[in-house]
Amino acid sequence: MKVKPVNHARAAEEFIKDAPHLNFHDERLWDLRQKRDQQMHILPEWQELRSLASQIKEHTLANLPEYLEQFEANARKNGIHVHWAADAAEHNRIVGEILEKHGARSLIKSKSMVTEECSMRDYLEPRGVVVTETDLGERIQQLDGQMPSHIVVPAVHKLTPDVAKIFAKYYNTDPNDDDPNSLAWSQRLAARPVILTADAGMTGGNFIVAETGSFVVCTNEGNADLSATVPGLHIATLGIERLVPRMADLGVFVRLLSRSALGSPITQYTTHFHGPQKGSEMHVVLVDNGRSHRLGMEEFWTSLKCIRCGACMNTCPVYRRSGGLSYGAVYSGPIGAIIDPTFNERKYSTLPFASTMNGSCTNVCPVKINIHEQLYKWRRVLAEHHELPFVKREIMHMAGKLLGQPKLYRAAVNGTETALQTLPRFLLYNWMNPWSKNRELPHPVKQTFHSWYKENRLKAQKKGKTA
């Protein structure tokens, strides 16, 4: 069955209708952007750090096979079981087999975008494994049956009354108690017994260090440390692009990550995992899932430099005013719009068009990914692959012909001015003109620049020559 493209515009339209949620979402994310800017101005070496981070990532990606093998060898020396997953299906199968081997029926996990990408919960739960998210935002989204709407703050689109209703449904708390401290405490009381009795724990990972065979998890809630250390079995799911060559390189990224994400100097917890605890077991699953293919894409491979800070989302006017769920994908915002089409070009063909092309996403990216340029390039690729909607395709085809013929273009401009002055409103504002759905068409001008120039400058030039 042919996959339908995500209708981002329609989903965004629904989000915009809810003014309280829209305003909070917009203001909260812009606040994060401003805090990021404050941190940037504190560090005189900020731009140097960005350049260095970009260079390290590009070097690593250019030598990815060698560094992955180095990590595997060192991790095995540390007592870590290393697995390789070519795609989402293999990742889920590997995790399922590890849990089955240990008789694990309950799994606690911290935030991991890769497990969301692989739809791991959907795979494990029908097989009798109860999966519990321990990150507060992720748990809210899990209980509400939604994907995370942001890479760093998964439930940022929700207000506290929304959370109060969800907790009342699942935790039997007071639905009218929307105090943030009270809600956080309710989650803590509900989560602790689950954590203490879990059969296995899972984390993601922000960075993998080839030199030491270790990986690093950065969090603010401490739930990742609990998920990794309380049960006797720790599984870490890591995308192969999260690699850095040396421990010395790590300092560059740690200084950039939290400042770019939340405007804070560092995360509350930066935990280095070098191997299993005494009497326990540690597994690392290295996930490809299309990353090797993307590495070979000449115009899009640098998206693999992403460190999942969410800074591009916080600054994007389209994302802030449409919400992450409108993208219909695990990765939303500007970075999602250039990553998602690599997973399914047709399904996510609308996302590169959800941008004003203002370049702010590129300006704030801590590893200097040229996001806005890749958005433009994706638009070109999608047009070449005939993945544009029929109406947009035909309009662009006609516009190309019109703009390619100056005489025809000028005649059309003059005709448009006449139409704006004389045609009834229903002929101008209808389904064939979606641009006018939430906007007023510009007032007709008395004279175009071309006609003014022809009348004034050209006449003056001719007079000068004859004189």
Considering only residues 411 and 231, tell me which one the structure prediction assigns the higher pLDDT: 231
Considering only residues 415 and 141, tell me which one the structure prediction assigns the higher pLDDT: 141
Gap between the Cα atoms of 139 and 145, Å rounded: 10
- Report the chain's mean pLDDT, rounded to a whole number: 93
Q: What is the pLDDT of residues 381-403, one digit of tens each?
A: 998 888 877 777 777 778 788 78
Angle at which helices 160-171 and 180-197 cross, to 10°: 40
Mean pLDDT for 141-147 is: 96
Q: Which helix (H) or strand (E) holds 29?
A: helix 19-42
Q: Does the pLDDT at position 259 exceed 90?
A: yes
- 3-class DSSP string for 145-167: CCCCCCCCCCCCCCCHHHHHHHH
Supply the pLDDT for residue 401: 83
Look at the alpha carbons of 81, 82, 84, 88 in this order and tell me if their dihedral is positive or negative: positive
Any idea what DSSP says for residue 432? T
Are 82 and 75 in contact, with CB atoms under 8 Å apart? yes
Are 274 and 213 in contact, with CB atoms under 8 Å apart? yes
Supply the pLDDT for residue 438: 73
Q: Does the pLDDT at position 466 exceed 60?
A: no
CA distances to 10, 140, 247 from 24, in Å: 20, 18, 39
Gap between the Cα atoms of 322 and 325, Å rounded: 8
467 confidence band (pLDDT: 50, 70, 90):
low
Considering only residues 408 and 1, tell me which one the structure prediction assigns the higher pLDDT: 408
Q: Which residues contact 248 (CB under 8 A, 6 or more apart)?
A: none
Q: Does the pLDDT at position 42 exceed 90?
A: yes
Domain boundaries for CATH 3.40.50.10420 within the chain: 45-155+196-289
464 confidence band (pLDDT: 50, 70, 90):
low
Q: What is the pLDDT of residues 155-174, one digit of tens each?
A: 999 999 999 999 999 999 99
Say what the pTM is.
0.89
Q: What is the pLDDT of residues 66-78, one digit of tens each?
A: 999 999 999 999 9
Supply the pLDDT for residue 425: 81
Amino acid at 213: G
149 confidence band (pLDDT: 50, 70, 90):
very high
307 three-class SS? coil
Mean pLDDT for 108-114 is: 95
Q: What is the pLDDT of residues 150-159, one digit of tens each?
A: 999 999 999 9
Tokens of 68: 């992955």
54 confidence band (pLDDT: 50, 70, 90):
very high
Q: Kindly report the CA angle at 108 between 285 and 326, in degrees rounded to 5? A: 80
Tokens of 185: 């405490």
Core vs surface per residue 250-272: b (16+ CB within 10 A) or e: bebbbbbbbbbbbbeeebeebbe
Percentage of the chain lying above the pLDDT 90 cut: 80
Q: Does the pLDDT at position 289 exceed 70?
A: yes
**Correct CATH for 45-155+196-289 of 3.40.50.10420, 2.60.40.10, 3.40.50.2300, 3.30.465.10:** 3.40.50.10420
Mean pLDDT for 282-305 is: 97
Any idea what DSSP says for residue 439? S
Supply the pLDDT for residue 1: 63
446 confidence band (pLDDT: 50, 70, 90):
confident
Are 245 and 56 in contact, with CB atoms under 8 Å apart? yes
Q: Does the pLDDT at position 26 exceed 90?
A: yes
Supply the pLDDT for residue 465: 62
